[in-house]
Amino acid sequence: MIQIVIAALFPLIALISFGYLLQKSNWLDVGFWRAAEKLNYYVLFPVMLFLNLAHADIALKSIQQVSLVAITIMLSMTAMLYAFKKYHNMGFARFGVYVQGILRFNTYIGLAVVSSLFQSAGMTIFAILLVLCIPLVNVISVLALTHHDNLKISKVLLSLLKNPLIVGCILGGVYNFSGLTMWTGIEQFIELLAICSLPLGLMCVGAALQFHKLHQDIKPILLNTVLRLLLMPLIAYALCRSFAVSLLVTQVMVLFFALPTASASYVLTRVYGGDAELMASIISLQTVVAAFTLPLVLTLLI
């Protein structure tokens, strides 16, 4: 199993490393990476999610199992984090960073690993997770970064409705259940766009890595990394076993909760006035450490 996992992860790690080296070499300017990330987030990525759900065999039982485990983990971990915040009297600027470091997930890496290991059946389960967890995690993240006096529910809801990943998943699900068929030329065009998403997304992940201020808060950053990359998948595995979840759903759930936090956490943190430098350090360290913990977790728990 370990050889299969490493073989599946190697090209993904290589693409992230390639993106980092390209960014450091200054061969491509900063504007390229911003434009590439924007293109991927608003066009290529949603198209890939749409395509996966449009032709997926979505079973009601899988939706129920995924929802039960994911919501239980997200809400229970959120409650624990708020208890931690109250005990340490922590401010919103840092608290929102720690919440995102533990609850958010790098969708690019997740989709790339799932497609390599579990093919279309695993991608369907992962897409269900995205539909469920993207709104939930975004709401929790915004709440964690915002004092209740400044919170505008309408703004949060509007941002969710405009999220291109959620829109792509919803449109794919609607198309799936509609029974409609697509002209071959359009379908091939969509497939070509979808193929571009993961390589470009992984290189953008690498280009966004920042290590220059990692030493300033190393202890909380390490603790956050251990909780995200080791404790969360262990909790997911235990819950899946307790709820008698199917093997494939268990595999994808464990992988999902073993992913490093999302690169987009940095943008959200900066927009809401959080500690963006701390967030950048957590993202960078988790992304690098995940190259070692993902094979370990997947081999031991799956």
The per-residue DSSP string of 231-256 comes to IHHHHHHHHHHHTT--HHHHHHHHHH
What are the residue boundaries of the structural domains of the chain, listed by start? 2-301
Per-residue tens of pLDDT for the chain, all 302 residues? 677 777 778 888 899 899 999 999 989 888 899 899 889 888 998 898 888 778 777 667 778 888 999 999 999 999 999 998 888 888 888 899 999 999 999 888 888 888 888 888 888 888 888 888 888 888 888 888 876 655 667 776 777 777 787 788 888 888 888 888 889 999 999 999 998 988 888 898 888 888 877 777 788 899 999 999 999 999 999 999 999 898 999 999 999 999 999 887 887 788 778 888 888 889 889 988 998 899 889 887 76
pLDDT at 156: 67
Query: What's the confidence (pLDDT) of residue 150?
Result: 59
CA distance 247 to 90: 39
Nearest by Cα to 229 from 79, 97, 106: 106
Using alpha carbons, select from 282, 266, 260, 264 the residue that is nearest to residue 109: 260
Tell me if 166 sits within 8 A of 160, measured CB to CB: yes
| Nearest alpha carbon to residue 295 among 15, 1, 18 | 1
* The two three-digit tokens of residue 129, written as one number: 């997770």
- CATH 1.20.1530.20 at 2-301, yes or no: yes
243, with CB counted inside 10 A (0-12, 13-18, 19+), is middle
Ramachandran region, residue 246 (left: φ > 0; alpha: ψ -120 to 50; beta: rest):
beta
Q: Dihedral angle at the C-alpha atoms of 80, 63, 234, 291, nearest 10 degrees?
A: -110
> In angstroms, what is the C-alpha Rg of the chain?
19
Cα(15)–Cα(302) distance, integer angstroms: 25
- What distance in Å separates the CA atoms of residue 171 and residue 204, rounded to the nearest whole number? 26
Give the contacts of 299 (CB within 8 A, at least 6 positions apart). Answer: 1, 2, 5
